[in-house]
Structure 1
Amino acid sequence: MSDSLETVYSTTNVMEAEYIKMTLEGEGIRCLLENENQAGFTGIFEIKVDVLSSSVDRARQIIDEIRESSESHDDSDDTEEE
């Protein structure tokens, strides 16, 4: 059985894509970024985070945890400003 690549996340933010990739790789999930070398077109082209199909569920779970953590951090920043 051969695994194919599937997109688990996409963004126009290069730093966000790199962070997702580093986090997934830290969890043992191999990744590939599509369109990461967009040179002067940052914020225009979509960067896709691809993983092997056998890792999709785990990768999405980790990404959800990252997003939840980021959202709760953003919420705490808002309350500090008030």
Structure 2
Amino acid sequence: MSEHDQAKQLRQQMKSQKRDKAKAEASDQTLPPRSRVHQSRAKHKKKKYTLSFPLIRLLLILFLALIIAAVTFPYWMP
């Protein structure tokens, strides 16, 4: 090869890409099965605290009553 080899840089890039691809393929083979990954996620999942439905219903009824009172305020106040 001559001193002014134009393709030298491209060859080096291709070699590095091949090495990177080989490393990626090797790392893909070491991954655990999907089922094991999802099982471990379920174990570490935090419990959610949910509000009870009666409390939500009560708050909704109070909110609607407040809206109705605000709309009808001019009619029942002198």
Q: Into which bin does the TM-score normalised by the smaller protein fall?
A: 0.3 to 0.5
TM-score (norm 2): 0.34
Q: RCO (CA 8 Å, sep 6+): is it higher in 1 or 2? A: 1
Higher helix fraction (1 or 2): 2
Q: Report the structure number with the largest CA radius of gyration.
A: 2
